[in-house]
Amino acid sequence: MKKQRNKTLEPTTDNLLRVAKEAAYLCGKRTLAYFNTGVLAEMKGDNTPVTIADKEGERVLRECILSHFPDHAILGEEEGASEGTAPFRWVCDPIDGTKAFVAGVPLYGTLIGVEREGEIVAGVIYLPALDEMVAAGKGLGCTINGRTCRVADKPLEQAVVVCSSIVRSQKRSEAFAQLTEKTYLQRTWGDAFGYARVAMGQLDIMLDPVKSPWDVGPMPVIFAEAGGRCSTWKGESDIYGRDFFATSARLYPQVLDILASAPDF
């Protein structure tokens, strides 16, 4: 008898992570079919761009998730929220960095975080154009393409800061200027790519001055398992806040002390 391709699984952390990896990979490969092809973007109601690659990618990842966990809820950037009866919600972004995607910059990513009763227990950052996948499950460690990865352990004066939007960071307050003065280098390798590089230990501090939950869905478990920390600029462990940052456990208190002075929107 031919084996069924997909089947309902028990929602163990290992199974959740396995499906998150599969869904991210399939979504990423679908988006690559449109990468550097001159695909056009249209503007959504919130004045952010969307392409056919975003839409098709999210459909692919939703189909994959629901084929294994049909009773789970999903929150996606493009199709919004779907309800489920199980205590799990998948927070997904098919293309994090759509502007980069449209411009032909290969640093965009697919993000998936699996939330169980308010806690992110499994998560994936997949960078399709680079074919790199950072993945973590609670108690399972953090890996890059299957190899263990951890955050760096540099002092603040040697740290490299990356940011999704320097302009927006500067508008928040003097916090970004203070962080600039106390760190070694600042660049704009932001979005999913920036978080991945910090988790891999190649960069040190990633800032999001404004974001949506699907922009950071997998980050709590990835950084916990990689030896780092992440939170809002006020120190709240909440992917639903307005801003976010991630760094090493060593640097977290110092960076938080600086960012906490930033005014609210």
Residues 91-130: pLDDT tens digits? 999 999 999 999 999 999 999 999 999 999 999 999 999 9
State the 10-residue block means of pLDDT for the chain, 265 residues long. 63 98 98 97 91 98 98 97 97 96 97 98 98 98 98 98 82 83 94 98 96 97 98 95 96 96 73
Residue 113, SS3?
strand
Per-residue DSSP letter, 215: G
Instruction: Name the helix (H) or strand (E) containing 217.
Output: none
- In order of start, what are the domains of the chain with their CATH numbers? 13-148 (3.30.540.10), 156-259 (3.40.190.80)
141 torsion bin: left (phi>0), alpha (psi -120 to 50), beta (else): left
| Contact present, 206 and 245 (Cβ < 8 Å) | yes
Per-residue tokens: 250: 């060593």
Q: What is the largest CA-CA distance in the chain?
A: 66
* Predicted TM-score (pTM) of this structure: 0.95
